[in-house]
Each structure stands twice: as structure tokens, then as C-alpha cells.
Structure 1
Amino acid sequence: MEGKKVLVVDDEPFAQNLLKMLYGVLKVECIVVANGKEALEEYQKSANFVHILMDIHMPIMDGYDSTKQIRLHEKAKGLPRCKILGLSGDGDPKTKAACISAGMDDLLVKPLKKEQLQQFL
């Protein structure tokens, strides 16, 4: 898994540290940002991510809007579609449908396990 890079977007420091630790165990470089606006800026700088793990509820710009903006950026630049995985404590089917509608590929429910992340690498 070495050499792979993921973007983690979450406003909670505890979740950020946990995800950095889980990806570290998998030997995957983990770039962490705290909101959707920062995620969009990071993706625009370097679209070279295996996937983006996107919390859906954050200040400044939520995961839904950030995903929509990333998809527009990919289309405008002719970039391949990056896998975006929504992240929430709510596993309701309506939440998953909202994630898919926004352009995410799936919804993962907190708390996450290493094996869940590993399957997307």
C-alpha cells in the first residue's frame, strides 16, 4: 500500500487522529483537512488521491457541497473520477441516498475499522 495517498476531510480532531492512525497502519499517506472548502482546495492542488473520505456535516462547506464542487472540477479539467466515500455517524438509507445524489460513491458509518478502509485501497 506504500506510495498511496488519501484525503481525509473531517472537522473533529479525534476522528482526524483516528483516521491518520488507521491509514498509518495501512502504510498509506493521509492528508487531513477540516472542512469541505479545504478539501476542494487540496484536491485542486493535487488530484492524485486513491480516495477521499468525506465527512458530510462540517462547518464552512459540508461534504455534499464539497463533493459537488470536486465533481465539477474533475469534469472541467478532464480528470478521472476520484472515489469519494461519505462519512457519517448516521447509516440511514436516506443519508446514503443523499451522498450518492451529491456525487459520492458510498457512505461509511462511524466508527470505522481498518478493514473497511483497506477495501477501498
Structure 2
Amino acid sequence: SKLNEGSQFTATATLSSPVRLQQLPEVGGVIVLSSLHRQARLLCKQLAVWKVRFILIDSLDSLAEFSEKMPPNMDWLIIDAALQAEFSAWRNSKKQARRVELLPTNLAVLVDRDTTINVTSLPDNTLHTLNKPVLRHELFALLQGSARNVANNADLSFIPSHQMVVSTGRILLAEDNPINREVAFYMLQDSGFSVLSAEDGKHAIDLLKTNNDIDLVLMDCRMPVMDGFAATYAIRTGKAGERYKNIPIVACTANASVQDKQECLQAGMNAYITKPLRKKVLLDTVLAMLNPDYTI
């Protein structure tokens, strides 16, 4: 700098995208008729986040019993495809006519995304299908009754947060400490992720070689046999297979210094979190890596 002239500095700041207010579906209540599989639980989890009343029923006997004490304003009945034929027969039975009249008139069938459905096989007046895995915006559109227009309607978007996302994907967790590994495992699993565990970097590389469906690696930096830095280098140079050379890798370390963070990023890791793990930080970071539109 020079006297009486001052100095000029250039700085770069990374900012989050502007936060949008959450829009909730305008629906009274939902009945989900399904076996207790993962997708049904995730669907119900999303309804709970939206504060939509729901009940998960796993048999037609339970549905018949529930219909006798139906609360008001139950607007939707979502039926898993596995129970579709059984439900149609039950619904067309004359002795069930009174109970059928008590059920919601809006019907949807929960089907696998790649499955072709014969519309004539659906229950009468079923106008909707909902694909598995359940996507948040498709469920929102269904409940709003605007499935045709949701893709082009920007007003239907809202903040994605770790509490609102129906999380899917498989994560490889590389952590040598059994307690830390268990904590991270259940944080991720409880949020809907499938988790594969490794005890060191070499084990992580071996698992990548034998599994072709891993979406992200949560990598402890300090491990025996092969540490996180060496494992990341091996992944980036194709030692775990070409398909994983650019897989998102989130560093996890007990050190919180700026220097340690830079070391992780320079090693080829995409993001950095510190221990002890906090669930919100962990999930925000993972979701930001897996979903480009996710806002922390």
C-alpha cells in the first residue's frame, strides 16, 4: 500500500442460496394401506413432516375396523400395489359396501417407478399412481391434486431440509472407532439412507470394488492400515474403479483447524465435518452433496 492511497483487496465469499418459505399441502388426512416396508415408512415420515394426519394400515381387516371409526376429513387413500388386487375384491364385495362408502374418494396406487400398470386393473375411480421410490414433489402434487402441472409450477417448491427430505441412497461409512461408527451409522440409517460400514481405508476401497451402487463416502481421516487421505487418493486415481473416481467424499475428523480442512480438500475430498458428529450438520452436508438443489 502507499501513503494516502490505501490498499485494494479481493475476497471471495461462499453464500447459501436464498431461503424459500415452506409450502405445505392442503389436505385433511391420508390413509396408507401397505405392508410395513421402507417406502411406506418414508412416505408416512414425509406426511408427518408436513403435519398431515395419516394412518398406516397393513391389512384389509384393519382397514375395515378403521373405517367404522373414521375421523373427519380423511381425503386420500393410498394403496400399495401389492395389496391392489386384494383391495379391489374387498371393495367390490357387497357386504363391505357400507364401509367402502366411508373411505376417501381420492384413491392412488403406490407402484414401482419402472412398472407398467394396467389401468383397467386398478380399483374403480383410481385416477392416480404414486411412484416408488417416493419423491417429495410428486407426493406434494398428488395431495394437491395438480400432478399434471407440478413440474412447471415453481410455486410448489420449498426449502429442502434434512427433516423434510425423503432420503434415499447408499453411503459407505469408513470409520475405525466402533462407537463413532455406530453413531454415524444410525444417524444416516434413521434418515432413510442405506449404510455400508468399513473399518479402515483399505476396507473401504475393497467395498467400493465389490459394490456398484454407492452414492457417497463418509471418510474418517485418521485410520489404521490406510488413512482417509490415502484412501481418497486411491479412489480419485481409479483404484476403486472408474465409476467411483468422482464420487462425493465427505471428510470426518476430530481436528477443527483451518489447516486440517485445507488438507482434506487438497486431498480430493469434497466437504469436511468435525467430530463429535451433530446430526443436522451431517445430514445437511450429505444431502448437499447428493442433491444439487439442496440448500443448507
TM-score by length of 2: 0.38
Q: 1:60 to 1:28 in 2, by over 3 A?
A: same
**Structure 2 gap ranges (5+):** 1-165, 288-296
What residue number does 2:259 align with?
94
Between stretches 106-115 and 41-50, larger displacement belongs to 41-50
The one-letter code matched in structure 2 to 1:27 is: G
Q: 1:76 to 1:32 in 2, by over 3 A?
A: closer
Please tell me whether the aligned partners of residues 273 and 282 of structure 2 are also in contact (alpha carbons under 8 angstroms): no
Task: Work out the number of aligned pairs and report it.
Answer: 121
What residue number does 2:179 align with?
14
The one-letter code matched in structure 2 to 1:34 is: E
The one-letter code matched in structure 1 to 2:175 is: D
Alpha-carbon distance, 1:113 to partner: 1.8
In structure 2, C-alpha distance between the alignment counterparts of 1:84 and 1:58, rounded to whole Å:
15
What residue number does 1:110 align with?
275
Alpha-carbon distance, 1:112 to partner: 1.4
In structure 1, C-alpha distance between the alignment counterparts of 2:223 and 2:241, rounded to whole Å:
25
SS of equivalent to 2:238: helix
In structure 2, C-alpha distance between the alignment counterparts of 1:76 and 1:20, rounded to whole Å:
24
What residue number does 1:4 align with?
169
1:83 aligns with 2:248: yes
Q: 1:80 to 1:11 in 2, by over 3 A?
A: closer
1:41 aligns with 2:240: no
TM-score by length of 1: 0.90
Cα RMSD for the two superposed structures: 1.9
Alpha-carbon distance, 1:4 to partner: 1.2
Q: Per chain length, whose mean CA-contact separation is higher, i.e. which structure has more relative contact order (CA < 8 Å, sep 6+)? A: 1
In structure 1, C-alpha distance between the alignment counterparts of 2:245 and 2:200, rounded to whole Å:
23
In structure 2, C-alpha distance between the alignment counterparts of 1:105 and 1:2, rounded to whole Å:
20
SS of equivalent to 2:195: strand
Runs of 4+ in 1 over 6 A off after TM superposition: none
Please tell me whether the aligned partners of residues 173 and 219 of structure 2 are also in contact (alpha carbons under 8 angstroms): yes
Q: 1:75 to 1:26 in 2, by over 3 A?
A: closer
Alpha-carbon distance, 1:50 to partner: 2.5
**Structure 1 gap ranges (5+):** none
Please tell me whether the aligned partners of residues 254 and 275 of structure 2 are also in contact (alpha carbons under 8 angstroms): yes
Please tell me whether the aligned partners of residues 74 and 81 of structure 1 are also in contact (alpha carbons under 8 angstroms): no
Q: Choose between structure 1 and 2: higher helix proportion.
A: 1
